[in-house]
Structure 1
Amino acid sequence: MEKEMIRRYVRGEASFEERKLVTDWAASDPQHFKELEQERRLYLALTWHLPEVKTSVADTSAPRGRLISWRRVARIALQAAAVIVVGCLVGTLLYTRRIDALAEQTLAIQTPAGQRMNTTLADGTQVWLNSRARIEYPVLFGRNERRVKVSGEMMFDVTKDPNHPFIVETYACDIEVLGTKFNVVADEANNRFSTALLRGEVRITSRIDGQQILMKPDDVVSLEEGKLRLSHIDDPDEYLWTEGYINLKNKNFYDLVEEFGQVFGVWIEVQGHIEGADRRYKWGKIRIADGVDDALEILQASYRFTYTRNIETNEIVIR
């Protein structure tokens, strides 16, 4: 990717086609995204200062031995003060417009199947994206709120700023936070939404009927038949995916096969009856970095099945 095109993108000068090229390039590889972030931060660093306001004041020096009237001094001082005030107002206006312009520019990240990614937003908020998750966010947050749009599963550790609420927009609900850590699942294709609060306080607002729930730590809110339901976190290890693990506790064969497909980015088909498939694990976890074959071998220790894998089509058939 050409550096000049990337720079045009972060400056907001790229065409629609160029913006699409840059966002697709950044989403294709974590290293590409890091390069884009570096350019963005460099641009912000260079443009963050107010423009200099150059003023000129008429020469007030007087010939030697001649006294300057206090009235003239006062008039010159007032004129200089007026120029400074106008300059500050112009500088502030330009600064505000620059923030608004940057707030209208958006970046998008989508993690490829089978991969995870983490990033830091402009306000210092940490975001971890699970496989196939997507987030859209502005280059610089606006003056009133910090708003992002997400789909898939991700974890947020939000920088506290009471004057600028952080809002996560999903297909089903808006999540409003001040400073907190929480996990969100927003899977519109399967009509699956949930939020688990690990720290802080958030307010969930349904985009369906306006229903609101104020969450406390260890609360879970899920969407069931169009309504929000409040429950509690049964097992904190369920959110170990940010550390590279799949939690086995309380999951049966079919739960894990579905999760393997999502996490490892493969299509898994189950053919026939699997004996004891409804049995649930009491404990255990699988390291994602070991791959799908290792995960299936661990399942074979508890359930009787065989499988074949087609590398070319990225499909697995379990019998």
Structure 2
Amino acid sequence: MDERILKYFQNELDIAERLKLLREIEKDDILKKQFSEYQNIRALMNLSSYMENVEEGKVKYSHFTQWVLNRKRHQYLFKLMKYAAAVVLLIVSTCWLTLWTSSRLSNDNLIAETNTLYVPAGQRACITLQDGSVVWLNAQSTLIYPSHFWGTERKVQIIGEAFFEIAKNEKKPFYVVAQNVEMRVLGTKFNVYSYPETGLTRTSLIEGAVQVSCDDGREKVILKPNEQVTVRNGQMTVDLIEFPDALLWKEGIYSFNNERLIDITKKLELYYDVKIVVSSQQLRNIRYTCKFRQRDGIDEILKVIQQIHHFKINKDKEKNTFTLN
């Protein structure tokens, strides 16, 4: 078994290593099988320990009550039943405590189980978190989140792009961490674009209010609806959302408004996990306004763009590379 799988479940990998492993698992059937088998083994081990406690308690209690019923001397019955009650209480308490501690996590010395959801290229996914918040994930994106939100805050981490619809809870604010940027919300709808390859994090607010901070909280800004903030190299720039259709990706539509071909191809590379080389400088700067369905796939999208300006497309299947010239 790949040693990284063991380190993954022991939380010994950093974010970059976890993301790299998950992407390799998506493409490698052997790794995927090893990951799934080990995950199932851990789940069964955890389950079996709790079930053994419950079943063992039932067996012991059954033996004990039978022993009490078979006693001939009635003078001991009352004492024995008191002992039986004590034993039953101990067994039930032990089983209940075991199950309770396995599901509810203490803020002092226990950590909530961390889950990771990775969306492969050319797909998108939607997940409802334990608090009722809904998160849409774009292609090549990863959401890291706890199984339960205990304590005084809710916090998740996003790598890639996600659209959040946060369940309102004034007593427990929601935090989203993306690269070196943190967003604090109470109940709102907003989009986060934060692929590491782009070197930026952009938060676009649709509804409610979001406080965005970077540089360990030294730089902060509070967004209003229809505003977005772009963080690049620690610098924050706030402007209006000029092209809301860019957020249609959660409905399976990729929209581009007067964008250079080179900028469009950079996004398509992220969405479909391919390499696109635009060899002509003139071709790179041609601007397009267009919409595509995610399910159309990269081949069909490039063919549609090709019909507007008749460039050539050369595909290298082995390297998963497209060259436009």
TM-score relative to the length of structure 2: 0.68
Residue 201 of structure 2 is aligned with which of 189, 193, 199?
Answer: 193
Find the aligned partners of 2:248 and 2:192 in 1 and give their Cα distance.
13
Unaligned runs of 5+ in 1: 1-13, 48-87
Residue number in structure 2 paired with 1:278: 285
Identical-pair percentage? 28
Kindly report which structure 2 residues correspond to 1:146-185, keeping only aligned pairs within 5 A, or say none: 146-185=154-193
Query: Could you tell me how far 1:189 is from its partner in structure 2?
Result: 3.7
| Cα deviation digits, residues 209-232 of structure 1 (max 9, x gap) | 621111111110001442211111
Amino acid at match of 2:315: R
Residue 269 of structure 1 is aligned with which of 274, 277, 289?
Answer: 277
Of 292-301 and 161-170, deviating more is 292-301
Amino acid at match of 1:175: M
CA contact (8 A) 1:103 1:140 kept: no
Q: 1:229 to 1:273 in 2, by over 3 A?
A: closer
Residue 302 of structure 2 is aligned with which of 296, 302, 305?
Answer: 296
Query: Could you tell me how far 1:152 is from its partner in structure 2?
Result: 1.1
Query: Could you tell me how far 1:244 is from its partner in structure 2?
Result: 0.9
Residue number in structure 1 paired with 2:321: 315
- Write out the 4+ residue segments of structure 1 that deviate beyond 4 Å after TM superposition: 14-20, 23-27, 94-98
Find the aligned partners of 1:150 and 1:226 in 2 and give their Cα distance.
18
Query: Per the alignment, in what secondary structure is the counterpart of residue 169 of structure 2?
Result: coil
Of 175-184 and 130-139, deviating more is 130-139
Is residue 121 of structure 1 aligned with residue 129 of structure 2? yes
Query: Could you tell me how far 1:188 is from its partner in structure 2?
Result: 3.1
Query: Could you tell me how far 1:191 is from its partner in structure 2?
Result: 1.7
Query: Per the alignment, in what secondary structure is the counterpart of residue 298 of structure 1?
Result: helix
Residue number in structure 1 paired with 2:105: 100
Query: Per the alignment, in what secondary structure is the counterpart of residue 249 of structure 1?
Result: strand
Find the aligned partners of 1:271 and 1:25 in 2 and give their Cα distance.
32
Amino acid at match of 1:200: G
Query: Per the alignment, in what secondary structure is the counterpart of residue 122 of structure 1?
Result: coil
Query: Per the alignment, in what secondary structure is the counterpart of residue 291 of structure 1?
Result: helix
Find the aligned partners of 2:145 and 2:8 in 1 and give their Cα distance.
19
Find the aligned partners of 1:185 and 1:216 in 2 and give their Cα distance.
17
Kindly report which structure 2 residues correspond to 1:1-319, keeping only aligned pairs within 5 A, or say none: 28=26, 98-100=103-105, 103-208=111-216, 210-275=218-283, 277-281=284-288, 283-319=289-325
CA contact (8 A) 2:122 2:294 kept: no
Query: Per the alignment, in what secondary structure is the counterpart of residue 183 of structure 1?
Result: strand
Unaligned runs of 5+ in 2: 12-17, 28-32, 51-92
Query: Could you tell me how far 1:272 is from its partner in structure 2?
Result: 3.0
What is the alpha-carbon root mean square deviation over aligned residues? 3.9
Higher helix share goes to which structure?
2
Of 142-151 and 111-120, deviating more is 111-120
Q: 1:297 to 1:17 in 2, by over 3 A?
A: closer
Find the aligned partners of 1:316 and 1:266 in 2 and give their Cα distance.
8
CA contact (8 A) 1:131 1:262 kept: yes
Q: 1:17 to 1:227 in 2, by over 3 A?
A: closer
Amino acid at match of 1:302: I
TM-score relative to the length of structure 1: 0.69
| Cα deviation digits, residues 234-280 of structure 1 (max 9, x gap) | 011010111111112121211111122111221111223444x4343
Residue number in structure 1 paired with 2:67: none
Query: Could you tell me how far 1:179 is from its partner in structure 2?
Result: 0.8
